[in-house]
Amino acid sequence: MDISAGQIFVSEVAGTGMLLLLGAGVVANAILAKTKGNGGGGGGAWLLINVGWGFAVMSGVFVSATSGAHINPAVTFGLLAAGTAFTVAEIIAYLGGQMVGAFLGASIAYLAYKDHFDATDDPGLKLAVFSTGPEIRNPVMNMITEAIGTFVLVFVILSFGRSPNELGPVAVAFLVLGIGASLGGPTGYAINPARDLGPRIAHAVLPIKGKGDSDWGYAWVPVVGPIVGGVIAGLVDQGFAGYIPIP
């Protein structure tokens, strides 16, 4: 890679920060009290959240283009499994930048919606702005769901390199929208360890009125599941690419 580990870190902080600012922001708009986006009904809110996260990912990819726009540890591990060579310093820069960016982006989203956090009584809704949670709590199945969703994300992203298209980050936005609409129902589709863990830490340390606990008992699921899914996607891509010539 032609850029330094420091440049990777800054790029990933900026991209992942933008991802979480807009992603947490759309959830806050959809579910917190007295917002312009609140009150559209469960289905309407879910659609708004899916679309918002898609555009959040697109924005993060544009911002972090310098570093290759991983903005997700599962993508970094998936690329490693697919045979991309990174130095230890580069891996640390990617993962560290993603975690710091996710924490900062979620914290800024909280600042933008502070009055609405204060006006919301349900602590579960406040946590939902920051982190994911299952509709039916079954950690093993929840992890499998996250692994499947992340496999789709990473495998399709890797497949973009074999497809003659010029959509770039827009294609990733539609991919995330599709994953949310199709596979997001059981767990809220973290499909990104930093996206869940960084904001969960922010929820734990920020002075949020009436926030309740941060549900650390579930926190491993949206970390382990996406990493497993990303690694499997990288390994499958290695074998798949050998049979599919690049156009």
Q: What is the pLDDT of residues 11-39, one digit of tens each?
A: 999 999 999 999 999 999 999 999 998 86
Q: Mean pLDDT across the chain, nearest whole number?
A: 93
At residue 60, the pLDDT reads: 97
Per residue in 116-143, pLDDT (tens digit) is 999 999 999 999 999 999 999 999 999 9
Q: For 61-66, which contacts have Cβ atoms below 8 Å and span 24 or more sequence positions?
A: 61/15, 61/168, 61/169, 61/172, 62/169, 63/11, 63/14, 63/15, 63/18, 64/11, 64/12, 64/14, 64/15, 64/16, 64/18, 65/11, 66/3, 66/7, 66/8, 66/11
Per residue in 182-216, pLDDT (tens digit) is 999 999 999 999 999 999 999 999 999 999 999 99
Domain boundaries, the chain: 5-241
Residue recorded with tokens 């993508």: 75
Residue recorded with tokens 């918002």: 52
Per residue in 50-102, pLDDT (tens digit) is 999 999 999 999 999 999 999 999 999 999 999 999 999 999 999 999 999 99
Alpha helices in 32-87, H assignment, sequence order: 42-63, 73-81
Per residue in 219-244, pLDDT (tens digit) is 999 999 999 999 999 999 988 766 65
Amino acid residing at 242: G
Token pair for 50: 């899916």
What percentage of the chain has pLDDT greater than the value 70? 91
According to the CATH classification, is domain 5-241 in 1.10.1740.110?
no
Give the Cα separation of 224 and 150 in Å (integer): 11
Query: 162 pLDDT exceeds 60?
Result: yes
Q: Are 77 and 234 in contact (CB under 8 A)?
A: yes
Give the Cα separation of 237 and 214 in Å (integer): 36
What percentage of the chain has pLDDT greater than the value 90? 86
Query: 42 pLDDT exceeds 60?
Result: no
